[in-house]
Amino acid sequence: MSKKEILNTDKAPAAIGPYNQAIKAGDTLYVSGQIPLVPETMELISSGVKDETHQVLKNVEAILTNAGYTFQDVVKASIFLSDMGNFGLVNDVYAEYFKDTQPARECVAVKTLPKNVNVEISVIAWKD
């Protein structure tokens, strides 16, 4: 039986609450929701939802890379938006990162996100 492994990297923003960036359980990696914080400064990107989405996915990528995974290993993505009117803009950026093997996903609008950002994304990755 494999153990649960806690994974964190300084290449992604430090957790802003009582959680870890990722947990590896067996061959599955669970990545906590990422918001558009710049890891080095912990400052928020607020220059528009496209820039925010790029930063969020860069943070996700840093966590995946730290754990030995890539976007191609992602089997499920969860996208949380402050406004469903941003769906198309977020989708355009998302498609740049998930080119060949798009995962299952959901995208929902919520009333408020941490630090009042416009987008948060979490993923689940798996590989043999």
Which pLDDT tens digit goes with each residue over 26-62? 999 999 999 999 999 999 999 999 999 999 999 999 9
pTM: 0.96
Cβ–Cβ < 8 Å for 124, 97: no
**3-class DSSP assignment, residue 58:** helix
- CATH 3.50.50.60 assigned to 4-126: no
Domain residue spans of the chain: 4-126
Cβ–Cβ < 8 Å for 70, 77: no
Edge-first strand listing for the sheet containing 28-34: 4-7, 22-25, 28-34, 119-126, 74-81, 104-109
On the question of pLDDT at 2 being above 80, the answer is no
